[in-house]
Structure 1
Amino acid sequence: MAVPAVAQSGAELADKEVTVDGDTESVYLEVTNTSGDNLNYTVYGISDGLSTEVEAGSISSADENDTARQTFAVDSEKYDSYRVLVTEDASDSDEESADSIEIGTTVNQASGGGVFAGVGGGGLFTPRNILIGLVVIGGAYVAGFLDPLKNALEG
């Protein structure tokens, strides 16, 4: 969710809750083209409707066409969701802003593992790779590239 954000002193720029599960690797916060000053963020873990602050800090992407990204590890056994709140720095008199603020999750990528990863996994011997190998061998046989091998096996 990208949200243009401009606010008054100490005001809320973004507030989003994201659900996590065993496949969630992290929660991220991305800001693009901030006004030059840091934006403050607070991350809350939420379980059974109760929220607990798990991290707080500041983030800035002051350079033109610059995006800053902050990731937060999740504990899906402890929390059902995380809430990220981004606010302007209330300690000064100017207004902080950002062209966009995005909050979301990244998930673990399933890893195949080994040479024989099975159907749907990574690895060398996947159904797709076996099919490609058979097509290549069939083409080589038809083109005559395997004649020396065929002759050696026959006699």
Structure 2
Amino acid sequence: MRTSSKPNAAFAHLLQAYETSDFIDEKLHVLGALGRFPSVKLKTRSLEWAVAGGVRSQDIHSVFGSVAADRSIVAWEYVQANWDALSAQYSQIVVGRIPCVPIANFQTEQAVTAVEVFLVGRPKARLPARWCSSLKTSAQGLPCTPVM
């Protein structure tokens, strides 16, 4: 996907493959590829498509993960801009898992602190808040295993 000369056509092909497949493994593979385009526009489009009902709730974090895989902050910015809508649409466990994927790549204490500040007072934010302590440990150069 990263080297496609026609990224919009490749994106459309992935959506078609997802929507026509009967195999969950194939669908998950597509979800893992959707966010790998370097274009911020296509990354955002993949998140919007997924949240609009294109993806089962139990698989939604896969799209956020593919968008964040290259350490892009697009997925985290999307979470911040759409927290209320995500919270209304998904259960606590699902909406709690969504931000864990994009923030897992944060490498500085400032980034983790910014996440903590955002999560203060947010309903359904318990799971990502627990990740922050593990991420701070990681930012200090220590081994990190997020608490789930």
The TM-score, its normalising length taken from structure 2, stands at 0.24
Of Structure 1 and Structure 2, the greater strand share is in 1
Question: Which gives a bigger RCO, structure 1 or 2 (Cα 8 Å, sep 6+)?
Answer: 1
* Higher Cα radius of gyration: 1
More helix by percentage: 2
